[in-house]
A and B are shown apart, each in its own frame.
Chain A
């Protein structure tokens, strides 16, 4: 872990060498998610609620997804560039070093400019936490922390699957965007909005709803089921098959030879 922070500080310092470009990308990231926010705002100025959820409740949900996605993206972004690492043979270099290869791939790229998106999420939290009229007792705060942690882990798992697929093919990976970018875009509303089928899929196949919908309805008091509070922890188990898949991928790996 120490090694990772060392990598992180080197990358941070190197990105800070290009301050203008860093600020520009951060502002850009902010703007991109800000337009999504405006979309939600405009919808709610026309319709008062969606499936019984009010504007401030939806914002709370949106902020959870956005925070966990941007944190996951910031630190696990190395996997996004992974097809490049494979095709230019850099993975061979990684394999011969006596360190965990996941750690090295993670540390190959850390996008601190994702801070723009995080900022947007924080602003929404600042508005939604008081406005959602949730009684912030200890267990509600804990639920929120579980949701964020679960979200970071599940999104990281998805990024790892994305990268592992590169061991087998580089074509058609765009499809994975449905779960990563799509998870972020459509996760701004509680997943029950999309109907029963989608909710089931996101509960049992890709556990995005485990850290979003179920703990969320507990959080805003739509459900008294205390179990829902701990579902994000169950969702975290998703990382295990992802890591196994990664292992299979590594074993399957044949160098491109370049």
Chain B
């Protein structure tokens, strides 16, 4: 366990060095979040009654999304991992007395976490002081706040476990190009990054909620803003745990299969 922890630490401290890039990222995400909210406000000004989310709920959702973007961004992949498979360097990794799945997992976690740590605080702190209704409100109950943190971590793990499947698929296809763009757009869309899931048509929504993507950013953010009622919180967190279990199991299984017949690319 210790060796994975030190991998994690190395990557984390490495990632924390890029502070200049982080400030630019904070500014970009801030404008992005603001523009998104302005767009939604224009729609809300129609004064229709059947709104899927209230505007303060939406504000909290959007700011959390921008603040924790690095945790849930679907387009980030570690190119070193892809290269090690296609170039054959994977052979060295296989010689080491480590579990490849666990190592890739912690590496991915560390990179995302380091970016999120640098970016989330400035964004969220400023977002608290924005004029109503554009600000992020506090979690509706202390319990919701606590469950938000648990769910945030679980959702993060679900996403990383899912992206592991993409890395593993390259053992079979040797090219990451198509599958990366494909999964990125599917995960973004069905995960609620483009528009929040409650804005989906009803029937589609019921289906999408069952997929693992809804257990990524959707669950924690909707717990925070109170969209998921307190009686439903436990159920949705349980759902996250189930998906995490399935994805982890599947990933390990596929990895074993792949390593059994891995062809080390020469060179």
Residue ranges of A at the interface with B (Cβ–Cβ < 8 Å): 20-21, 24-25, 27-29, 31-32, 34-36, 38-39, 42-43, 45-51, 171-175, 177-178, 182, 186, 189, 193-195, 198
Q: Which 8 interchain pairs have the tightest Cβ spacing?
A: A28-B181, A24-B178, A172-B24, A171-B20, A35-B189, A174-B24, A193-B42, A194-B38
CA distance A185 to B197 in the complex (A): 19
Q: Which chain A residue has the least Cβ–Cβ distance from B42? A: A193
CA distance A47 to B41 in the complex (A): 12
Q: Find chain A residues with CB under 8 A from B50 CB.
A: 46
Distance in Å from the Cβ of B169 to the closest Cβ of chain A? 13
Task: Tell me if B182 counts as interface (CB < 8 A to partner A).
Answer: yes
| Contact flags B172-196 to A (C-beta < 8 A → 1, else 0) | 0001011011101110110000110
| Contact flags B196-227 to A (C-beta < 8 A → 1, else 0) | 00011100000000000000000000000000
Q: What are 7 A-B pairs at a CB distance below 8 A?
A: A25-B181, A28-B182, A31-B186, A39-B195, A46-B50, A46-B199, A47-B43
Q: Find chain A residues with CB under 8 A from B194 CB.
A: 35-36, 38-39
CA distance A20 to B176 in the complex (A): 12
Say whether A182 contacts B185, CB under 8 Å: no
Say whether A46 contacts B52, CB under 8 Å: yes
Task: Tell me if B23 counts as interface (CB < 8 A to partner A).
Answer: yes
Say whether B200 contacts A32, CB under 8 Å: no
Q: Find chain B residues with CB under 8 A from A172 CB.
A: 20-21, 23-24
CA distance A49 to B35 in the complex (A): 18
Starting from the known contacts A31-B182, A47-B48, A51-B42, 5 additional A-B residue pairs (CB-CB under 8 Å) come to: A25-B178, A31-B186, A42-B195, A43-B195, A194-B42
Q: Find chain A residues with CB under 8 A from B178 CB.
A: 20-21, 24-25, 27-28
Distance in Å from the Cβ of B193 to the closest Cβ of chain A? 9
Distance in Å from the Cβ of B162 to the closest Cβ of chain A? 17
Say whether A31 contacts B185, CB under 8 Å: yes
Q: Find chain A residues with CB under 8 A from B52 CB.
A: 46
Q: Which listed residue (A35, A42, A51, A182) contacts B201, Cβ 8 A? A: A42
Say whether B28 contacts A195, CB under 8 Å: no
CA distance A165 to B67 in the complex (A): 27
Say whether A21 contacts B188, CB under 8 Å: no
Say whether A175 contacts B27, CB under 8 Å: yes
Pick from A20, A29, A193 the residue with the most CB of B within 10 Å.
A193
Say whether A35 contacts B188, CB under 8 Å: yes
Distance in Å from the Cβ of B201 to the closest Cβ of chain A? 6
CA distance A131 to B46 in the complex (A): 22
CA distance A173 to B46 in the complex (A): 37
Q: Which chain A residue has the least Cβ–Cβ distance from B31? A: A178
Q: Find chain B residues with CB under 8 A from A46 CB.
A: 48, 50, 52, 199
CA distance A47 to B180 in the complex (A): 33
Q: Which chain B residue has the least Cβ–Cβ distance from A51? A: B42
Say whether B181 contacts A31, CB under 8 Å: yes
Q: Find chain B residues with CB under 8 A from A20 CB.
A: 175, 178
Distance in Å from the Cβ of B114 to the closest Cβ of chain A? 16
Q: Find chain B residues with CB under 8 A from A177 CB.
A: 28
Say whether B43 contacts A32, CB under 8 Å: no
Distance in Å from the Cβ of B251 to the closest Cβ of chain A? 23
